[in-house]
Amino acid sequence: MTIGIAASGPGAGRAILGALARAEAVGTGAIGGFASFACIGPQGLWRCGIQRGGARALLARGLPEEALEAPRAVLMSSGPDRPEPLAQFTPGDAAAGLVTGHRFPNLRGGAGSSPAEAALEAMRAGIGPAEAAELAAAADPDADAGIVCLGLDGRIGMANARHVAAFPGLGQALQAQGGARAGVLCNGIAHGALLAPLIAEMALAALVPPQVAGTVLLQRGLPVLRGSWSELRLGPQMQPEALVLSASLPSGGRWSAGYGPQARLTRDGLTVGRLLDEPFLTGEDGRVESFDGRECLPVRYVAPDPA
């Protein structure tokens, strides 16, 4: 019935809102209603919330660039019209970190504090996010809550109270790439167990975009050769001279093809990059006639893989 997302890395705010927006487009159930968002950046702790429309409504409203680019961000979202203030679902401290979760991490138990508040207090005391989440979940095993903690150092910890850990259909994912991290807990969303890692992966893709080294311009009439691997051969001025395809093609007449993912970019026999984009090619005999329906098309490339 809720989803909690945390991310660390450049543009974490934009990453988690974008990932949730995509999940809202395909998910059904407790999604697309309220959203409580909080982030920590150079501006300190910043937050906002909305009762209906979820991430897509928040993004349409327009958020400050400082919030979207914040390196630490969390959100919690579910159906519409949750108790105010929405900040209770995503407590935070600019000197300690941020907390989100799923189900009811905002409800106070017998100890007088909610699982989310308890987790934040643990991080204020210097406890790492993984242990803080575990301590908060273990302190009240019958709590109807799961916790996601995000530390100032970018680490993420997650834990479900024993009561929630037994629920069917839980979604849980914690992924990292380089210095970026994304964590997701969810339940009550159709196919949540599959959706959680997809959301984390989409957030990471936004946090760690490909490092584009440049572009080359493909133009109609480019010669096509057959080879053992896909390759775009460049001339001395970095202009495309021939496209080598490893896929089979008819010996004559009209054809269509793709050159495959991560094709080599070469000059004088040396690999100088890998192509990121793969347009739809049409051609006749040994030459290309169009790239994605266009006579010329710029395509991006990245630096070659380290030796």
189 pLDDT above the threshold of 90: no
- pLDDT mean over 215-220: 97
Please give the pLDDT value at position 86: 97
Identify whether residues 39 and 173 lie together within a single domain: yes
Contact criterion met (CB below 8 Å) for 20 and 2: no
Q: Which residues pair with 146 in a beta bridge?
A: 102, 160
Of residues 145, 148, 57, the one with CA closest to residue 99? 148
Q: Assess if residue 228 is contained within a domain.
A: yes
Task: Using the 3D structure, point to which of 207, 229, 259 is the last residue of a domain.
Answer: 207
Identify whether residues 139 and 277 lie together within a single domain: no
The tokens of 88 are what?
């209770």
Q: Assess if residue 75 is contained within a domain.
A: yes
Identify whether residues 220 and 201 lie together within a single domain: no
- Whole-number percent of the chain with pLDDT over 70: 99
Identify whether residues 140 and 257 lie together within a single domain: no
Identify whether residues 20 and 129 lie together within a single domain: yes
Q: What is the CATH number of the domain that holds 104?
A: 3.60.20
- pLDDT mean over 127-148: 97
Q: What is the 3-state secondary structure (H, E, C) of the chain?
A: CEEEEEEECCCHHHHHHHHHHHHHHHCCECCCCCEEEEEEECCEEEEEEECCCHHHHHHHHCCCHHHHCCCEEEEEEECCCCCCCHHHHCCEECCCEEEEEEECCCCCCCCCCCHHHHHHHHHHCCCCHHHHHHHHHHHCCCCCEEEEEEECCCCEEEEECHHHHCCCCCEEEEEEECCEEEEEEEECECCHHHHHHHHHHHHHHHHCCCCEEEEEEEECCCEEEECCCCEEEECCCCCEEEEEECCCCCCCCEEEECCCCCCEEEECCEEEEEECCCCCEEEECCEEEEECCECEEEEEEECCCCC
pLDDT single digits (tens) 26-62: 888 888 999 999 999 998 999 999 999 999 999 999 9
Distance CA 205, CA 168 (A): 28
pLDDT single digits (tens) 81-115: 999 999 999 999 999 999 999 999 999 977 789 99
Please give the pLDDT value at position 307: 60
b (16+ CB within 10 A) / e for 37-54: bbbbbeeebbbbbbbebb
Q: Assess if residue 45 is contained within a domain.
A: yes
Contact criterion met (CB below 8 Å) for 69 and 10: yes
Please give the pLDDT value at position 1: 65
Identify whether residues 200 and 218 lie together within a single domain: no
Task: Using the 3D structure, point to which of 149, 176, 207 is the last residue of a domain.
Answer: 207
- pLDDT mean over 107-132: 94
Binned at pLDDT 50, 70 and 90, residue 250 comes out as confident
Contact criterion met (CB below 8 Å) for 30 and 20: no
- Structural domain boundaries, residue 258: 212-302
Number of domains into which the chain is organized: 2
Average pLDDT, rounded, for the chain: 94
Q: Assess if residue 307 is contained within a domain.
A: no
Distance CA 297, CA 292 (A): 8
Task: Using the 3D structure, point to which of 185, 207, 229 is the last residue of a domain.
Answer: 207
Nearest 5°: phi and psi at 65?
A: -60, -35
Q: Assess if residue 53 is contained within a domain.
A: yes
- Whole-number percent of the chain with pLDDT over 90: 85
Cα-based angle 170, 146, 41 (whole degrees, multiple of 5): 115
